[in-house]
Structure 1
Amino acid sequence: MATGAEITKQNIRQFVLDLGVDDVGFASVDDYVSPRSPAISSLFPTARSMVVMAYKEPANCDSASPVMAVNGRLDLMEFSRSCNYKLSRFLNREYHTKAMTVPVSYPVNMAGEGKGLIGEISLRHAALAAGLGNWGRHNLIMHPRMGSRVIFSAVLSELELPSD
């Protein structure tokens, strides 16, 4: 018999997949480990879990045209931001929880020690914690179906959900 947390995860997973997202995983904030990023508690002290969404890169990135390649990425970023927003509103409405979105790679802080290379939340580490893949030799997450041509976004919430 499924637990309350498992039923909640099933409902959220179905909502996310119905948006058109390629894959989704869940991670407890306690299972997220990113040594170079700020602690999640410094960004959202009451966060308990994250929903991590995986998006396959469009074929545009294969184009010799920089315009075509960049526009494919911009399309994907716009779609992922919309999914983040819709999921955060769904969590708030259906589960009466605070939810905070984590965008695809932007904006980044180009100042300081990280020089734009360290995100507030490392989506690669989040994807790993959410069971969406494993590290490849190139330091990217290898998704079991989409390989390394995948990007991630996430939504943090106060829901107590176990990692996948």
Structure 2
Amino acid sequence: MRRSLIVFSLVVLCPFPSSAQDPNDAPAAQPEPWYSPKKYNPVKLIKHSAKSANDQLASNGDLEAKLTRQLQVQEILPQDKSLQDACSSFRELTECVASLRVSHTLQIEFSCLKWDVTGAKPKPVSDSCAGPSGGKAMGLTRSIDLLKSDTDAKSQARDALRRAREDIKDASD
């Protein structure tokens, strides 16, 4: 009885030579996964705007001309200044136009505001401008609060960004 139990356990526990898979018999391609990695790619859901404000203006010369003229008529941008020069070192065009609007509305020097928002020191900057702490760029709201502390910075920034988007939309039509 003992011998038959050992033989039986060896038969059950030992792999059969016929059940081993030959490498030549392996399937040629991987089966389709149950999910579709191409269909649900979350990276595609995030908008990537790698273009700076100057790149956006340079790629669409008509937008630059219309927006420059529109801002000059509203006396937000001086007649002798181009929008590309004003928007150099800004990451987004809306941020640049909003900064121009805020500097006009609140009578803040644009070069000081530009320095705080972009973190890059513009060439013609007055000595009265205090640059951003640590040389890092800050948001428009924080910059307004720093340069003009007696105003409601949050509502001013929100209104300027809304009107900047409208200006860009009007100029692109």
**Larger Cα-atom Rg:** 2
Q: Which has the higher contact order (CA 8 A, sep 6+)?
A: 1
Higher strand share: 1
The TM tier, using the shorter chain, reads under 0.3
Higher helix share: 2
